[in-house]
Amino acid sequence: MPLITWSDKYSVNVKSIDVQHQKLVNIINNLHDALSSGKAKETLAKTLNELIDYTKKHFAYEETLLKSNGYMAFITHKSTHDNFVKKISQMHFDYNSGKTNMSIELMNFLKDWLVNHINKTDKEYSQHLKSKGVN
C-alpha cells in the first residue's frame, strides 16, 4: 500500500506543478516500498538521492514561476524550500555515513512535510498564478 495516495485534493490548479508533485509522491512511495521490503542500503541511498535531485528541480521550477509572476510571498516560500533541502541533504549524509538508518519516522517526516507544504504553502499561490493566467 502506498504511503501517500495522490488525489485531486492536492491539486494547486497548475498542471505542470501537479505533475511534478505527483512524481515527488511516487519517489517517496518508492522509498517507503524499498524500506518496507528490506531492500539493500544501495537501493535506499539511490532512491533518497533521486528524491533530493528531483526536489531541487521542482523547487527551482516553482520558484522561477513564482518570481516571474511577481508572487509577493516568494522569499518566504523559497526559504521554506531551502530549509527542507538542507534537512533532506543532512538526512542523506547521515544515512550514507552510517550515522542513521532509514526509519518509518523519517518516512513519515517526508510524507507530512510534502503533504503539508502542498496543502498549505503551495496552495497559497494558486489564486495568484490563476490571476496571471498560469494554469
Q: Give Cα separations from 75 to 70, 78, 116, 131 (angstroms).
A: 11, 5, 18, 20
Residues 27-66 that bind ligand FEO (CB under 6 A): 58-59, 62
- Write down the least CB distance from residue 36 to ligand FEO, Å: 26
Q: Which residue in the set 117, 123, 128, 132 belongs to the binding site for ligand FEO (CB under 6 A)?
A: 117
Q: Does 22 bind ligand FEO (CB under 6 A)?
A: no
User: What 3-state DSSP class applies to 100?
Assistant: coil
Cβ-based neighbours of 18, under 8 Å, separated by 6 or more: 10, 11, 12
Q: Give residues in contact with ligand FEO (CB under 6 A).
A: 21, 58-59, 62, 77, 81, 117, 121-122
